[in-house]
Amino acid sequence: MTLAPLVRVVFWMTGALLSFSLMAVAIRVLAQTLTILEILAVRSGTGLVFMLALLAALFSTRRRLVGHLVLMTGAYLLAVVLNEVLPTVLFAVIA
């Protein structure tokens, strides 16, 4: 491995470490005011926005990013359904 790819890997790993750390801190802060499902929706929505930005910036890896975009969209929609629809359905069944 030459120096240039190694430096690139170090930057990617540092960015991943920072993003995971910021997400952990944000979740702890949001946990004081939001429910778990609302935090999941915010997290998935944020990931969706980042994936759209990456898709626009990096056209060469479009196929892989589109797959991740589909995955993040599914996670976001699942969070919305679990937060909005499921409590209503469960309440109707219990009542």
DSSP state of 61: G
**Residue 58: which residues within 8 A CB-CB, separation 6 or more?**
65
DSSP run (H or E) holding 49: helix 36-57
What letter represents residue 8's amino acid?
R
Beta strands, E only, the chain: none
Mean pLDDT, residues 37-51? 80
- Torsion of Cα atoms, 71 then 76 then 79 then 80, to 10°: -140
> Mind listing the pLDDT tens digit for each residue in 2-36?
668 888 888 989 988 998 898 888 888 888 998 88
What letter represents residue 80's amino acid?
V
> pTM for the complete prediction?
0.51
